[in-house]
Amino acid sequence: MKKTQNKPIETSDTSAMLYMQHSQVMVVYTEKSDREVWTSFKSGDEAAFNYIYRKYVADLFNYGMQICKQEELIRDCLQKMFVDLRKNQAKLGDVQRIKGYLFTVFHRELFKFLKKERKLNADLISLENEENMFHIETSHETKLIDEEFALEQKLEIANALNKLPTRQRQAIIMLYQEELSYKEIAEVMNFSEVKTARTLVYRAMEKLKEIFEVKKA
Amino acid sequence: MDEKYKYIDFEIEDFLNDEFFIQWVKNPGEETNHFWLKWIENNPERRPVLQKAKEIIAMIDYKDRYVLSDQAYMDLYEDIVEKSHQKRADGSHFHWSGWHKTAAILFLVFSTVYGIDILNKRNKVESENQKVTTWLTVDNPAGQKYKFQLPDGTYVHLNAASSIAYPQNFDGEKRTVRMQGEAFFDVTKDPNRPFVIQIDNNQVTVLGTSFNLKNGEDFELALVEGKVEVADSTGGVITLLPHEMLIKRKNGEVTKTDFDPLEIFGWKDQYLIFKDDSYPEVIRKMEVWFGVTINSTLKVDKGWSYSGSYHNKPLNQVLDGISISSEFDYKIKGKTVTISNP
């Protein structure tokens, strides 16, 4: 199983998409902070937009597909979001972390989009059953020599995680896999308080504690 | 509270909930490394808990990861750029082609005047060549490779599903050929007559050198020795040195990397190479290599990939090799292969 993980911008970018590697555009922009890239984008720099698109579109697409498995709809929604951002680019505020910002905007846009589409086409648009969203897998691939968990334990952890309420699973994936902060998670999931995101994860981990503490056979 | 004491009563769920700890696991930096390594040193009995928490954070992944296809990735980008220009509120004019040329600035350094000049010259050269020269074409179907010499002594290994056109005699200022697909060139030195390969939007100019050139979905040029210049239709010129590979993708991205010679031109010595190839890519490579049509009903896992090297092996042995790791049944009937779940 190939794994894709987002490394910090300073190091080489190993995103899911091959085309990202070594591109000259990427090289220029990976040395800049998110705030600088965003400022360039706001001033109409096509290269900055190109970079933003390459870097985040795969994650956003995957996120959308977790919520609604209709690829065309997700693509339309991504298109609308990016077109809107570009049209209003000069008016946009400052952004510290582009990923968190895009996830928030995209999440909001997607639900608006789904609501509208459902009105037009009630039969065609079906929101995923919540239980099917954000399923978790515990990867078996690890570079550690001394592993604390045996394979069966990992599977057991995955099982337990997938029995958690959807919102908890989502928060866990956002935190560990997408590497968003609690503040960003709260924004994406539309919580008025950051604490809510933190508590969601804490409750889940507390619940799984028993499984974590089993000694490796 | 001092960070050192904050963590002293932490249970596993507390570590799993702590952003500073998660940050260290996902993106260790100087600061986090310094802190946490020191902390473990001072609290050795807590190491297993920390280790467990670390592992849990690192192992969490999406069960189903959805991947945007290359085509959708490019289409979406083009749609976004086009749509956001078309409806611009200030009513400014927009031309796709105009934008496209501007976009080239992102990837290549070029001068407009120089670019136009090259275009004009090239058209002239082509028309002059066509007046006096008979062109010969070598066209390989899938499943067939061919090695031959051009009139100037240059060796060409032409890969399967590729073609090359060249003049019966190189009697101009330049040795110009055209190609599609993939070929390995070992160009005879002639400092006075550059060897030029014309393909779609790119023009490759060399004096004497050897390199592999692939022009399919993307343009890929891997240089073994000598020096190569690649000019695109906007006049952008990129110079390549030995052991460098230039990749220009259809979406406009330009990359220079190093390369593994066996992977890139092992084909000319009968090496069929798979390297972390996706299932469709593996199928495509076999179809081109053996000149067969493969129908597959096999369900493969997301993230399926295959690596392997076959030297001079027949189709059934390659299929046997791949089926070891991914368990499938296959039938070969003439030029058609059927792959299915066992």
B contacts of A21 (beta carbons < 8 Å): 255, 257
> Does A21 sit within 8 Å of B257, measured CB to CB?
yes
What are residue A124's phi and psi, to 5 degrees?
Answer: -80, -30
Question: If you measure CA to CA, which chain A residue comes closest to B47?
Answer: A148
The domain spans of chain A are 18-120, 130-213
Q: Does B27 touch chain A (CB under 8 A)?
A: yes
What is the overall mean pLDDT for chain B?
A: 80
Question: If you measure CA to CA, which chain A residue comes closest to B61?
Answer: A137
Structure tokens at A38: 């965003």
pLDDT, averaged in runs of 10, over chain B (342 residues): 75 94 91 90 90 91 88 86 63 38 33 33 46 73 83 90 86 87 91 86 82 88 88 80 88 85 86 88 92 89 84 87 85 90 84
User: Which of B41, B48, B42, B62 lies closest to B15 in space, CA to CA?
Assistant: B48
Q: How far apart are CA B184 and CA A139, in angstroms?
A: 41
Q: Please report, to the nearest 10 degrees, the dihedral formed by the alpha carbons of residues B124, B127, B130, B135 taken in order.
A: 60
Q: Does B300 touch chain A (CB under 8 A)?
A: no
Structure tokens at A202: 């804490």
> Does B64 sit within 8 Å of A66, measured CB to CB?
yes
| CB distance B39 to B77 below 8 Å | no
* Residue A1 confidence (pLDDT): 36
pLDDT at A19 over 60: no
Give the ipTM. Answer: 0.83
What are residue B312's phi and psi, to 5 degrees?
Answer: 60, 35
What helix, strand, coil percent values describe chain A, rounded to 5?
65, 0, 35
| CB distance B225 to B242 below 8 Å | yes
* Residue B201 confidence (pLDDT): 74
CATH architecture label of A130-213: Orthogonal Bundle (1.10)
| pLDDT tens figures, A32-85 | 789 988 998 998 877 788 889 988 999 999 999 999 888 999 999 999 999 999
| CB distance B177 to B166 below 8 Å | yes
| pLDDT tens figures, B125-169 | 444 444 556 778 888 888 888 888 888 889 999 998 888 888 888
Q: How far is A27 from chain B (nearest CA, A)?
A: 10
Task: Quickly name the fold that domain A18-120 has.
Answer: Rna Polymerase Sigma Factor; Chain: A (1.10.1740)
